[in-house]
Structure 1
Amino acid sequence: MQFHALINTTRPHIHQKKKKKEKERKISLAQYCADMAFNVLTTNAVDLKQLIEENKFTSVQIVQEYFAQINRYESALNALISPAPRDNVLAIASALDQERQNGKVRSSFHGIPIILKDSFVTAWNLGMSTTAGSCAFVGSKASNNGAITQRLINAGLIILGKANMTEFAGMKMTTMMPGWSAHGGQTLSPYVGRLEVNEKLLGHSAPGGSSTGSAVAVAAGFSPLAMGTETVGSIVTPSTRAGLYALKPTIGIQDTTGLYTMTDFFDSSGPMAKSAADVRMVAEILLGRSFDFSQLGLWEGLSVGFLDPRVWNMSSDFCTQFAGTAEQMVEDYEETVFTLQNHGCPVRYPVDLKDVSALPVTILPIAYWDFKNVCIPRFIDAFDECPVRSVADIVRFNQKNSERALPAPFTEQNDLEGAMNSNEERERIDVLKKELRNTAQRLLQESFDRERINILVAPGDSSVCVHAAAAGYPIATVPIAQLRYNNRPFGLCLVARANEEETLLRFMNAYEKIAKPRPVPKFHFLTSESI
């Protein structure tokens, strides 16, 4: 904005009075704007809760701020596969505001927005589709919300839309880029922008696993909260690459009715957010448990072991390192270790854990069997109307509609076909599951016991998420920094024993108090034409 100035050399005293009044008006306007808006890139859900309780904002006004940010950047980032109809959202927000005025508050996050990965079934009257990123599920209709969706709604959260995801969480084509689906296209990082030419699956410009749309939506300021799901790394990777705090709870402790999962054995759903407190409060809603750390010392009861980042890093098959990238990630990792030690955290570094080669090579047959025989049938049963009835139907649909369902460069469906042709007996799969789970738990337990720790930490860009998934253990993320190479964030992943979500949440809470502020996207890669 430009302002004109009146130059009156003959009556300077009048000119000075006008300038003073103009300056006062500018200050007044600036203060008004400061009072009437919040920064969607930095404000977290706990902040919003306080703003609402202090009557500084209503849920309707908050929703409108996020709509404005979506208008600014969604066309460039492609994070949302099915935005909720805005009239519906505003009506829900208004009803929740009225409930609050009437003295009814459903939960700590009553009236707070959230975005759900496209694997969470939403009832047709909410105006959003559920497709798991697949064209084969376009047109499916459910009369009921999935169990987790309904739990969030009952707690008073407002669903702003469904996030794009890797199609079927990756159970389509082995070399499909994370964050891409035939129905939703490619989601991009708000820190990096376009993928580099010939980028590898987890290269530095890639936004990460199947919950990419959810992570990007939070980092880009489309919502303070999002829900993702993880088989192996699908919450961890996109969260660390979006500078977020996140949690994948213990496998099997949530009701997965009305939720697309690739497997029952590896999968769990969890929250992504800008702060540890946000993750804790959503976890309380999801798990029906209270996590209160107020009576404990900052590090009381915690003992943390850090794996060696020179050993636990990303294979060059998945990520090409450039000048200084690997070195910076090690330096910032070790700086984090020293910072924690200096602030009194009981840290052991480095600690040891046997790598993935010590695990049975059974992940794919287990995933194929669960997908075909349990997860896709259950997902289909969540709908009253659905164009497909089996994995074989999906494969045939994609073949018949290849122009939109199998577009270049992702023209194959080898994993779908592998699942379709899987003929293992249930008894054999049960044996494989037991062997893998027992081995993974034994390997982790050996490290926990030998090092006398209750949290195991590794770089976000590592294979520790494989151990956690195979063991069924909870895993969480916290941010560290950004690469100087291209600004993409990176962070830590944290593993604890089964049902020890509270241990992870306590560490996250303490870590946030002494860590650097999480990185915020600047959108420097965008031009005025691309917005």
Structure 2
Amino acid sequence: MKNVSFFLFAIFVFIACKKQDKTETQLEKEPRVVWQPYDEAADLAATEMLEQTRMHLKLINSKVLDKNDIWKTLEPELDFFSEEKYNDLKKFILEKNIPTIQQQIKDGKLTYEELTLFYIYRIRKYESDNALSLNSVISLNPKVVEQARDLDKMDKKNIDINSIFGMPILLKDNIGTKDMVTTAGAVALQNNKSKSAFITERLLDKNALILGKANLSEWAYFLCSGCPVGYSAIGGQTLNPYGRMVFETGGSSSGSGVAVAANFCVAAIGTETSGSILSPSSQNSVVGLKPTIGVLSRTGIVPISSTLDTPGPMTKSVIDNAILLNAVIGKDDNDVISKAIDINFMDSIKEGSLKEKRFGVIKELLEDSIYKIAVEKIKKAGGEIIEIEPERVQLPGFLSILNIDMKNDLPVYISTQSGSDITVKNIKDAIVFNQQDSIKRIPYGQQLFEGILADSTTTEELNVIKENLKTIARNYFDTHIDKHQLDVILSINNYHAGYAAVAKYPALTVPMGYTGKGEPKGLTFIAKPFSEALLLQLGYAYEQATKERKEPANYMD
């Protein structure tokens, strides 16, 4: 027995030494990457020369978060993931859609663990480089590699290639995730250990991998007035991969759009109140869907407006958008507007065709050459083009919807969803908290927060505003949709997001092309409520006919 014990002990020591040797050797080959702060003065000065006034930046990197902390807990996993391995996997992952990646995993060319490590490695690779960093990610899930390994142990034979199973997804950091903090980019919520949002639970139920949290315009861009889109105190200034410190990222789902565009994840989820999915999707050449209010639950998401808020998928392709939408639909009894949707959006896009569909084309927008070319391509594919001239109308009282809803909705979120460490209870508390260190917490001010307190609109007055705006906006679209029996109206980027928001109409933006300077633009399809299947069908048909999306040039390695 003594000899046996000695033998087993010797085997254990041998294995331990071999593991230690391997680790040391690996570390010698792949030294840990460390992000180094740098003097931002020259970069900040350069933004003063830009035409886009909101790009005049005061800072680039967060003064609150050390970037090294983003991937710190996952460094031991990356010690065994080499640059050579990363390069070997690129052909299986970069710019590939979900069905293609799933099929390669089923074929044994790739594992869920390798897929996950690839994205973590890639995020660290670019975000640690001060010449290429995009500030698109606020945090990574420390358990995600372990969770990916667990999925690799399962039989992959019956996994649907059109499913979200094992796909690493980034969530905008106003969407609750139980094992991670949910900050909305704000120092006041830096330690917010919230409950998981309903849509997060839907993803987990389908074995998706929550890779981490994406940066955003702080408080979903309802904090400061005229400040840069894509900035948050926690995440710093999100930058556009197609023109770093040249083009805006769009907001407020800035990090979600940038991360998808730069291939930092398979897909992401953003949120929109008015343009916050459509804008960053268009600006970063990705597909973004703003669903009808009620298609997706808002429970567990830091709110602006219970009237207008909705999450939505942001992806590199329409197929992936449909797959992600399938994964998160479901009636939520805790969200009074939530609907039961019984549609397989992946199946519906296969019926997509531009032929004989009727498109309302806004005559004024035909002055944009990229939009005009897109319209001509639709016409060539058999679509019927009807030029329309919507009457320009104002949306009086729009801001009051946001003001009064956030004044009421934020305290409800904090009392029911946030962690116990959160000391602010309402907007007034948040204003006072920010004033205690304004340089670090609100470098661009908090004019919109202050406007919330100043708005004295009553509940009765607000209800009148909501109904009035819904009528105005629906008439804006329906006058032409009904008269000409249109399937959709075509817009650019988030140009008509405000109208779609108060009308509660869904909208889908698909990459449409690039300006002479290389700035992306999106073709935006707008239709009547609960027309998501139609939008995805037409978006897919347009995407297949044009294939406009291009990988950002400096992020192809």
TM-score of the superposition, structure 2-length normalised?
0.77
Deviation at 1:484, TM superposition (A): 2.0
Alignment correspondent of 2:116: 63
1:82 aligns with 2:139: yes
Give the RMSD, CA atoms, in angstroms: 2.4
Gaps of 5+ in 1: 1-30, 196-204, 312-326
Deviation at 1:427, TM superposition (A): 1.6
One of 260, 281, 304 as aligned partner of 2:359: 304
CA distance in 2, matches of 1:229, 1:331: 30
CA distance in 2, matches of 1:163, 1:297: 31
Q: Deviations over 1:107-130 (max 9, x none)?
A: 71100111000110111xx3x321
Q: Could you say if the C-alpha distance between residues 295 and 253 of structure 1 is closer, same or farther in structure 2, counting changes exceeding 3 Å?
A: closer
Q: Could you say if the C-alpha distance between residues 379 and 214 of structure 1 is closer, same or farther in structure 2, counting changes exceeding 3 Å?
A: farther
Q: Could you say if the C-alpha distance between residues 39 and 212 of structure 1 is closer, same or farther in structure 2, counting changes exceeding 3 Å?
A: farther
Deviation at 1:261, TM superposition (A): 2.4
1:72 aligns with 2:119: no
The answer to whether the Cα contact below 8 Å between 1:40 and 1:69 also exists between their aligned partners in 2 is no
Alignment correspondent of 1:483: 515
CA distance in 2, matches of 1:43, 1:149: 23
One of 188, 193, 202 as aligned partner of 1:136: 188
* Partner SS for 1:456: strand
What code does the residue aligned with 1:65 have? F
The answer to whether the Cα contact below 8 Å between 2:162 and 2:323 also exists between their aligned partners in 1 is no
Q: Could you say if the C-alpha distance between residues 455 and 461 of structure 1 is closer, same or farther in structure 2, counting changes exceeding 3 Å?
A: same
Alignment correspondent of 1:116: 171
Deviation at 1:37, TM superposition (A): 3.9
One of 329, 339, 354 as aligned partner of 1:287: 329
CA distance in 2, matches of 1:496, 1:244: 20
The answer to whether the Cα contact below 8 Å between 2:166 and 2:207 also exists between their aligned partners in 1 is yes
Give the 5 Å matches for 1:497-512.
Answer: 497-512=528-543
* Partner SS for 2:268: strand
Is the deviation greater in 37-46 or in 272-281?
A: 37-46
CA distance in 2, matches of 1:280, 1:362: 34
CA distance in 2, matches of 1:495, 1:62: 35
* Partner SS for 1:99: coil
Gaps of 5+ in 2: 1-83, 331-342
Q: Could you say if the C-alpha distance between residues 300 and 290 of structure 1 is closer, same or farther in structure 2, counting changes exceeding 3 Å?
A: farther
What code does the residue aligned with 2:439 have? E
Q: Could you say if the C-alpha distance between residues 43 and 419 of structure 1 is closer, same or farther in structure 2, counting changes exceeding 3 Å?
A: same
* Partner SS for 1:81: strand
Deviation at 1:436, TM superposition (A): 0.8
The answer to whether the Cα contact below 8 Å between 1:304 and 1:457 also exists between their aligned partners in 2 is yes
Alignment correspondent of 1:493: 524
Give the 5 Å matches for 1:88-487.
Answer: 88-101=143-156, 108-123=163-178, 126=179, 128-142=180-194, 144-195=195-246, 205-288=247-330, 289-291=343-345, 292-293=347-348, 296=351, 298-299=353-354, 302-310=357-365, 330-348=368-386, 350-355=387-392, 358-385=393-420, 386-407=422-443, 410=444, 412-460=445-493, 462=495, 464-485=496-517, 487=518
CA distance in 1, matches of 2:411, 2:135: 26
Q: Could you say if the C-alpha distance between residues 247 and 301 of structure 1 is closer, same or farther in structure 2, counting changes exceeding 3 Å?
A: farther
CA distance in 2, matches of 1:212, 1:499: 25
Is the deviation greater in 452-461 or in 266-275?
A: 452-461
The answer to whether the Cα contact below 8 Å between 2:275 and 2:497 also exists between their aligned partners in 1 is yes
Is the deviation greater in 74-83 or in 208-217?
A: 74-83
Deviation at 1:414, TM superposition (A): 1.2
- Count how many residue pairs are aligned between Structure 1 and Structure 2: 456
Q: Percent identity?
A: 32
What code does the residue aligned with 2:101 have? L
What code does the residue aligned with 2:442 have? L
Q: Could you say if the C-alpha distance between residues 426 and 245 of structure 1 is closer, same or farther in structure 2, counting changes exceeding 3 Å?
A: same
TM-score of the superposition, structure 1-length normalised?
0.81
Deviation at 1:208, TM superposition (A): 0.7
